[in-house]
Amino acid sequence: MKENQFTATGLLVWGTCALLYLYGFFIRTVIGTYQTSIMNDLHLSMLQFSLLSSAVFLSIYGLMQIPAGIMANMYGLKNVSFLGVLMCTVAVLGFAFTHNYSLALLFRMCMGFGTSFGFICLLLAIYEWIPHSHSALFIGLSQFIGVFGPMFATGPLYTLSKSIGAHWRFVFICLSILGAALLALTLSFVRNNKKKAGEYIVLSRPEKLSVSIKKLFSRSQPLYIAIVCACLNFTLEYFSANEGRSFLFLKGVPLTSASYMLSVAWIGFAIGSPLLGFLSDFFNRRKNILVLCSLIGLISTLTILYNANKSILYCAFFLLGVSASAQGIGFALIADQFKKKFVALGFGLNNAIIMLIPAVMAPFLGFLLDCKKAGSCLILNEYLWVFNILILIYLIALALSCFLIKETYGKSLVDFTYLKPKKNI
């Protein structure tokens, strides 16, 4: 494949992997739509449901990111994609029929394991099949497609299920059938592409896996990039899954409006992902966009915390989503840091930190809120005291992106640039 040209095969591979990513994002969030029904059928407490819906899934997902990258390097895009969607399909079907909490936890863990390959494989498909000059745009488009998973898994799916009287078990059986269809698509269309551009073959000595992993953690740039991406993503994730609605209610925002504000934030994420990717590729700049989005995130968070005007809050949440979508630029920066044979490891590191930092910080903020609570219920000032940490998180992102992250100008820093020689006439 020529480095500067699209191919029909490449677009088909990317499109299939994007559907796999959307499917994984969907099953990650759909369980919350049927919280009451699942709790009643399995006789769960709130704590048990929170472990089932979030804790075990995100922990396995985050911890599997680097192993998923290693497996993608070792076994190729097609095999790993097939393994991931197969695990999801079997786990979703098993979850639909389980009546035992322990088995439900096991199947939920298997879902986390299967979906952990989704974004890694999607990024690898982009890096192997899409021209490098358009990589940031396609990462953004991929995130745009993925956001339709949680958008449809909440209100629209609930309304549809209610209108046709569908039980949650029936919905999960349908999802397993959809997974089987995606398995067929994966077998039919996903391909590995390890060819080099041009007319040269580059020989290199094989390197031990332990040496590759040591190199991954010994370099500072990938770690800085991953931390910035995690900081940009955290506030949106936290407000959506935890205390966002309760906090806004104390500011005088009705719960319905608070829910729509969070939806607007995800719309900002969906729009910002391809837009920022296009701008990054067009101007050949990565770092400047991270700096800009760190600043946007800081301003929008300050506005959300200390402004009570509903119209301004809607705008602030939209910009918060745009700021979070800059993590796609982080993945493009990661790709610029590694040779092709190591790039999946870099993606794994980045995605692992993006997932694991919220898994640690969300309980930490909850602990602080419990400690700060003076009466039976939290008051607005107690929330604000703890949520000032969100401002600190954006300041960290701004400092790292300004002073420690290096610009790559949209080009690989380590791979060869291939020039096709002119043929003699």
Q: What is the residue-wise DSSP string for 110-157?
A: HHHHHHTTHHHHHHHHHHHHS-GGGHHHHHHHHHHHHHHHHHHHTHHH
Same domain? 188 vs 145:
yes
Same domain? 226 vs 280:
yes
Does some domain include residue 199?
A: no
> Domain limits at 280?
218-410
What is d(CA 64, CA 70) in angstroms, rounded to the nearest whole number?
A: 10
How far is the CA of 195 from the CAs of 2, 8, 81, 129, in angstroms? Answer: 10, 16, 19, 10
Same domain? 185 vs 258:
no
Asked whether the predicted pLDDT for residue 92 surpasses 90, the reply is yes
Residue 69's pLDDT is 79
Asked whether the predicted pLDDT for residue 128 surpasses 80, the reply is yes
Task: Point out the least confidently predicted range of 14-18, 328-332, 384-388.
Answer: 328-332
Same domain? 234 vs 132:
no
Structure tokens given for 377: 């219920």
pLDDT bucket at 202, cuts 50 / 70 / 90: very low
Residue 307's pLDDT is 93
Asked whether the predicted pLDDT for residue 420 surpasses 70, the reply is no
Does some domain include residue 3?
A: no
Query: Which residue in 289, 308, 285, 311 sits closest to 397, CA to CA?
Result: 289
Same domain? 363 vs 231:
yes
Same domain? 50 vs 87:
yes
Mean pLDDT of the chain: 83
Same domain? 320 vs 400:
yes
Residue 225's pLDDT is 92
Task: Point out the least confidently predicted range of 16-30, 45-59, 129-143.
Answer: 45-59
As for how many domains the chain has, the answer is: 2
Does some domain include residue 117?
A: yes
Mean pLDDT for the stretch of residues 384-401: 95
Phi, psi of 94 (to 5 degrees): -65, -40
Does some domain include residue 329?
A: yes
Mean pLDDT for the stretch of residues 200-226: 64
Same domain? 351 vs 265:
yes
Asked whether the predicted pLDDT for residue 411 surpasses 80, the reply is no
Same domain? 178 vs 254:
no
pLDDT bucket at 204, cuts 50 / 70 / 90: very low
Same domain? 159 vs 256:
no
Structure tokens given for 29: 């969030």
Q: Which of 193, 210, 231 is the last residue of a domain?
A: 193
Same domain? 111 vs 243:
no
19 compared with 421, residue with greater pLDDT: 19
Task: Point out the least confidently predicted range of 33-42, 92-101, 415-424.
Answer: 415-424
Give the domain CATH number at 121.
1.20.1250.20
Mean pLDDT for the stretch of residues 182-198: 77
Asked whether the predicted pLDDT for residue 286 surpasses 60, the reply is yes
Asked whether the predicted pLDDT for residue 196 surpasses 60, the reply is no
Q: What pTM did the predictor assign?
A: 0.72
Residue 89's pLDDT is 96
Query: Which residue in 24, 19, 82, 104 sits closest to 355, CA to CA?
Result: 24
Structure tokens given for 167: 């039980």
Does some domain include residue 209?
A: no
87 compared with 49, residue with greater pLDDT: 87
72 compared with 207, residue with greater pLDDT: 72
Structure tokens given for 387: 């949520």
Residue 198's pLDDT is 41
Asked whether the predicted pLDDT for residue 201 surpasses 60, the reply is no
Same domain? 267 vs 172:
no
